[in-house]
Amino acid sequence: MKIIVGLGNPGPNYVRTRHNVGFSLLNCLASDLGVHFSINKRFGAEVAQSSRNNTSLILLKPMTYMNLSGDPVSKALNFYKVTANNTLVVYDDLDLEEGKVRYKEKGGHGGHNGMRSIIAQLGTSDFPRLKIGVGRPMRTPEVTDHDKESSVTDWLLKPVDRTAYEDLISSTTADVFDRIDFFLKQ
């Protein structure tokens, strides 16, 4: 059994935000597998079960805010008795060009609060992750450190134009599915 976690923030205000690409891509995978998510109160997450490439699969979307994602992930791993190295986390990455997809076997949190929380709760950073590039906002010379921080927050948390968001998700889906299949063969 393997677990695939998609990171995002719950609620309608975050549906088309860059920070929610993990949720959106997990929704695409669930649709492809013909399964639906249901709330699991024990974990504080939406969960779907299926199989792909002869591997039992749990899809997990933590329903906490991003920086508390580690608790639902840890609870699910303990409940299903799945190790960290059999868990793939799908999330947004500011440092990757928009639409780029990068698979890594392990690594640090890279400043991502959801990953920071998961690493802290699991006590390890030795688990695969799938980074989805969302790029960074445009920089101008007159931007102060405070402005830069708030512009990054806005970039991640403000809804994106529907067409642009759908283009981002559709342009990465095939790549994401290929890398998920690679993970499942490990």
**pLDDT tens per residue across span 53-112:** 999 999 999 999 999 999 999 999 999 999 999 999 999 999 999 999 999 999 999 999
CA distance 44 to 100: 30
Domain spanning 2-185: CATH 2.40.50.100: no
Q: Which candidate in 19, 36, 109, 146 is catalytic? A: 19
Taking the C-alpha atoms of 23, 79, 119 and 35 in order, what is their torsion angle to the nearest 10 degrees? -20
100-131 pLDDT per residue, tens:
999 999 999 999 999 999 999 999 999 999 99
pLDDT at residue number 140: 56
Domain spans, the chain? 2-185
Q: Is 159 exposed, middle or buried (0-12, 13-18, 19+ CB in 10 A)?
A: middle
pLDDT score of 151:
86
| Whole-number pLDDT of residue 139 | 64
Q: What is the DSSP letter of 12?
A: G
Question: Quick one: which H or E segment has residue 101?
Answer: strand 101-104
What is the full DSSP assignment across 133-186?
E-------TT--HHHHHHHHHHHHHSPPPHHHHHHHHHHHHHHHHHHHHHHHH-
Instruction: State the chain's mean pLDDT as an integer.
Output: 94
- What residue has token string 């990068």? 102
Predicted pLDDT of residue 182 = 97
Does the annotation mark 19 as catalytic?
A: yes
